[in-house]
Amino acid sequence: MTLTAIIAGTGALPRLVAEELTAAGTPPVIAGVHGYAIEGLTADVEFRPERLMPFIRTLQDRGVGQLVFAGAVQRPRLDPAMFDPETAAMVPRILAAMQQGDDGLLRGVIGFFEEAGLPVVGVEAVAPGLLPGAGVLGALAPGRSDERDAARAAQIVAALGALDVGQGAVVAQGLCLALESLPGTDAMLRFVAGIDPALRRDPKQGRGVLYKAPKPGQDRRIDLPTLGPQTVVAAAEAGLGGIVFEAGGVQILHRAETVAEADRRGLFLWGRAP
């Protein structure tokens, strides 16, 4: 069986992926990024971006056959004093990747590993249960106005995602209330919660939806959108009627808890076919 290494960021996702792999009989190697705590896991090996090549050799020595990225990380602040000679020789490529936006940087990172014979796979390849398909997950279903809002939000996310802006939007009765950008989904929903009610139409005609989807052309092996119980709480506090996600393209953390929270707060969860 192929030994998988998890490049672990923050949040619950690394642990959930590790649990899926362990349950399948292939416990992973946990690789932690220096300076980032891993929720519920202990790192088997820790690395710094400035010492990428020694880290790659460590994985090879352990017999790792593939990598999966899981969890959130921020753009690294590189310390010139920490570079080893091999990684230092790659600095022009690293800097060029960092100037290409998030997607360009991630593609560059994947390229470094794959050139060393360590293929990168997506979460769906090792933990497919974390990415629900099409259909309603909870007890509530979207209405026609919700479906129209979801279609409008999907158009908006596709347009802005092509510019590497974000992976989410909030739309109510055809009006775009907010777009996801660097601060993330929670910040976007807090903004929506603070919108003057006079600017929002009659809630009886539709309370609005949060829509999440990968960016067009995004390499889906890394940085897929994620939803969880806290997203449901924030959407409810923003006065929305439900959450829509692209089927097969969004990771749902703690699915049972997320669905229960949505049912409790009167929100629908809908996997919309792309």
What is the per-residue pLDDT across 237-250, written as a single tens digit (0 to 9) for each? Answer: 999 999 999 999 99
The first and second tokens of residue 92, run together, are 């022009």
User: CA torsion sign, 14 to 246 to 76 to 181?
Assistant: negative
- DSSP character at residue 72: B
Question: What pLDDT, on the 0 to 100 scale, is given for residue 234?
Answer: 98
- The better pLDDT of the pair 247, 220 is held by 247
**The pLDDT value given to residue 101:** 65
The closest of 73, 93, 84 to 33, measured between CA atoms, is 73
Per the structure block, which two tokens stand in for 198? 């006079």
CA angle 176, 163, 173 (to 5 degrees): 10
Who wins on pLDDT, 216 or 35? 216
Residue range 141-170: mean pLDDT, rounded = 94
pLDDT, tens digit, 9 for 90 and up, residues 117-152: 999 999 999 999 999 999 999 999 999 999 999 999
Q: What is the spatial order of strands in the sheet that 268-272 belongs to?
A: 135-136, 268-272, 242-246, 209-212, 168-172, 175-179
Question: Where along the chain do its domains lie?
Answer: 4-126, 131-272
- Residue 135 CA to residue 121 CA, distance in Å, equals 25
pTM for the model stands at: 0.86
Task: Read off the pLDDT band of 206 (50, 70, 90).
Answer: confident
Looking at residue 202, its pLDDT comes to: 73
Percent over 90 (pLDDT), the chain: 69
Using CA atoms, how far apart are residues 218 and 248, in angstroms rounded to an integer? 14
Is residue 102 predicted with pLDDT exceeding 70? no
Topology of domain 4-126, CATH = Rossmann fold (3.40.50)
- Which pLDDT score is estimated for 233? 98
131-272 domain in CATH 2.40.160.20?
Answer: no
Residue 232's pLDDT is: 98
How much is the pLDDT for 192?
A: 96
Which amino acid makes up residue 172? A
**Could you report the per-residue pLDDT of 59-94, keeping only the tens digit for each?**
999 999 999 999 887 777 888 889 989 988 888 887
Mean pLDDT (the chain) is 91
Q: Which residue has better confidence, 85 or 97?
A: 85
What are the residue ranges of helices labelled H in the chain?
A: 13-23, 52-61, 85-88, 91-98, 101-115, 123-126, 144-161, 185-193, 229-237, 255-265
Answer yes or no: is pLDDT of 48 > 70: yes
Q: Is the pLDDT of residue 182 over 70?
A: yes
| 54/52 Cα distance (integer angstroms) | 6
Asked if 31 and 18 count as a contact pair (C-beta separation under 8 A), the reply is: no
